[in-house]
Structure 1
Amino acid sequence: MITGHGDDIFQYPDVRYNFSSNVYPFGPSLRLKEHLRQCVDKIGCYPSPLAGNLVELIARKEEVTSSKVLVTSGAVEAFYLIAELFAGKRSLIFTPSFSEYEDACLRFGHCIEFRPHCEASTADYSTHDLVWICNPNNPDGAVYDTAFLCQKIKEHPATLFVVDEAYIEFTKCATSLVPLVQEHGNIVVVKSMTKRYAIPGLRLGYLMAGHKITDALKRMVMPWRINTLAIEAGIFCLQERDSEPFPVGRLLDESLRVQQDINRLKGFRVCPSSTTFFLVEGPVEASILKNRLAEEHGILIRDASNFRGLGERHFRVSVRAEDENNILINVLKQWS
């Protein structure tokens, strides 16, 4: 999907409050920006073909062997690579969820079955080659039970579980399945570095899987896909930024407050979320609300009506600082 994602700030002339993207709301650190300025001269040379130095740091952080790690150009590239590796296979996608799973599968000829999330416990996983899981789920912030996922992965060794953990640092209710990568060959865990470190413009993510899958993917990818500044940013973040406390508790408290305040507005219904983002069903079409908020108030929300399984009035909000959140709530009152 080239268009229709959040963070389409480029379409509007004066967006001051961006609630549309599930990224750490306070931006990249000043020290990271300064570090990248000092690294600019490095763009005169080719980067490492597979971002080897960054791979080693990721492996150390995640406690997996480096041969099981592949750095990608954002988490999205990981989904397309996996779909290509298993071209023509049968995929199960629970909805609503991130649209790029479907787009990647369609591009490489997968036969896709869509099931609502409420049927995850009753679905027949054995009839599918791949199952795509977003945990926490985008766009509604729903969290899968860890024991449930572990059980399904162990019960269905012939089915590959692609687990997207792009937002796992934005909740306290989900547990990473990375430890299963060491034990089971039928799981791929995908992570994003753009959300936690607020660097979506640098396009940086990674996947972890068994040797058979990562070796096959490494034979597929082009060399030098990950640019020098992205690699430098990733190394800096893992070495320096991770030493700083991530205020997930404060963000979650604010998310809960904003959810409750919006839910009190007549005509607005919030889907409860355990993350820093959540779905809202509003009183008018989300596309109309989005355009009016952007053009008249400089506020950008995510029109979520293009998520499979959602309606035309659904939109998504990712919380920001308290004063900015209050501005959003006060503007929405005008539509109540």
Structure 2
Amino acid sequence: MFNGHGDDLYKYQGKVKYNFSSNIFSHADLSGLKQYLCKQMDVIANYPEPESYALEQMIAENIGVERGNVLITNGATEAIYLIAHYFARYHHSFANPTFSEYEEAVRTLPYSSHDAGNVYWMCNPNNPTGEVREVEELTTFIRSGEDTYFIVDQSYSHYTKQRVLNPRQMVKMKNCILLYSMTKRYCIPGLRLGYIVADKLMIDAFRAMHPAWSVNALAIEAGKYLLEHDIPNFPDLDEYLSETRRLRTEINKIDGAEALDTETNFFLIKLKKGHSKDLKEYLVNHFGVLIRDASNFVGLNSHYIRVATQLPEENDVLVDGIKSYMSQL
């Protein structure tokens, strides 16, 4: 598994006060979920469902597909590795810069021959750029690639006002596989819940490779609670994206930094001087701010960082920190 993800708080021994490094909102109200899970602790005394059929049924009803179109996984990351290994003998390509785990999963494959067909991986909205591809354009692209399987990761679909692919329509296209992350939707990265949506035959093929008890009993209970209550764990989306625009505007006033366009709550910052690793360490040590060093995304370099919008007062600390760093150069 790739070790260059954001949210690496564990490296800094309590120094971090403001976390901008993960693409989720750091102040989600999880109090109701915590209270619920405290009452469900007895489930740890028994094996969970070998396959999470009840939760899959709830997700299917929520998005308007059949249960056979859904497979629950231990986070979207397990789904990525499962899909990569199913298509082990295929040629894989990527819409870079994008989430590094797709390519990392393919690197683990044991085969040197990739002549069985083609697989194209993309993230929409895209991590790390925040770009959202237009639905009609993307649908036409998928339809035109009859000899290609398209893996479209829509884990950030709740963080944009732009239209994304509709699972009810896409399950009819046998060459399209959608990925989703309840981790991102409900800001629960420690619970590891994701799912795949695809044609039933494709889901059956993935299920045949899927290890039993992949998702633990507490995570399953959490998923049920979150779907039943559907509590948005970030501010009103219009307000949240408005704050993102304000944050980008303030960063663009800093000599040496350029906040790039985005259609989500996270975005890249291009450093016109200095380096991403140095800025990351400076912000942690002097401001208690953790950012994502984006230099290890394919297509980027040591002049890029990524941040996700937080509370206005925290965003102001980030701006002050970048401004301070640039003034030293």
Fold conserved between structures, TM > 0.5: yes
Q: Secondary structure of 2:190's partner?
A: helix
Runs of 4+ in 1 over 3 A off after TM superposition: 109-113, 242-246
Counterpart CA distance in 2 for 1:250 and 1:219 is 43
> Which is further off, 240-249 or 171-180?
240-249
Aligned to 1:70: 71
**Percent identity for Structure 1 against Structure 2:** 38
Counterpart CA distance in 2 for 1:111 and 1:308 is 22
Change (3 A) 1:112 1:106: farther
The question of whether the paired residues in 1 share the 8 Å contact of 2:251 and 2:259 is answered with yes
Q: Secondary structure of 1:201's partner?
A: coil
1:231-270 pair list within 5 angstroms: 231-242=220-231, 247-270=236-259
Post-superposition shift, 1:110?
A: 7.1
> Which of 309, 313, 330 is residue 320 of structure 2 equivalent to?
330
Q: Secondary structure of 1:105's partner?
A: helix
Counterpart CA distance in 2 for 1:50 and 1:287 is 42
> Which is further off, 154-163 or 10-19?
154-163
Matched, 1:317 2:288: no
Aligned to 2:48: 47
Change (3 A) 1:40 1:162: same
Change (3 A) 1:251 1:128: farther
> Which of 273, 276, 280 is residue 286 of structure 1 equivalent to?
276
Q: Secondary structure of 1:195's partner?
A: helix
> Which is further off, 55-64 or 128-137?
128-137
Aligned to 1:119: none
Post-superposition shift, 1:300?
A: 0.2
Aligned to 1:11: 11
Deviations 1:171-229 (A, max 9, x none): 11132331233321111000000112110001110010112211111111111110011
Post-superposition shift, 1:2?
A: 3.5
Post-superposition shift, 1:27?
A: 2.2
Aligned to 2:287: 297
Q: Secondary structure of 2:225's partner?
A: helix
1:1-336 pair list within 5 angstroms: 1-13=1-13, 14-108=15-109, 129-242=118-231, 247-282=236-271, 283-336=273-326
Q: Secondary structure of 2:250's partner?
A: helix
Counterpart CA distance in 1 for 2:206 and 2:54 is 18
Gaps of 5+ in 2: none
Change (3 A) 1:289 1:258: same
Change (3 A) 1:91 1:186: same
Change (3 A) 1:312 1:128: farther
How many aligned residue pairs are there? 323
Post-superposition shift, 1:158?
A: 2.5
The question of whether the paired residues in 2 share the 8 Å contact of 1:24 and 1:197 is answered with no
RMSD: 1.9
TM-score by length of 1: 0.92
Post-superposition shift, 1:128?
A: 5.7
Change (3 A) 1:203 1:262: same
Gaps of 5+ in 1: 114-126
> Which is further off, 299-308 or 152-161?
152-161
Counterpart CA distance in 1 for 2:157 and 2:110 is 29
Post-superposition shift, 1:275?
A: 0.5
Post-superposition shift, 1:53?
A: 1.1
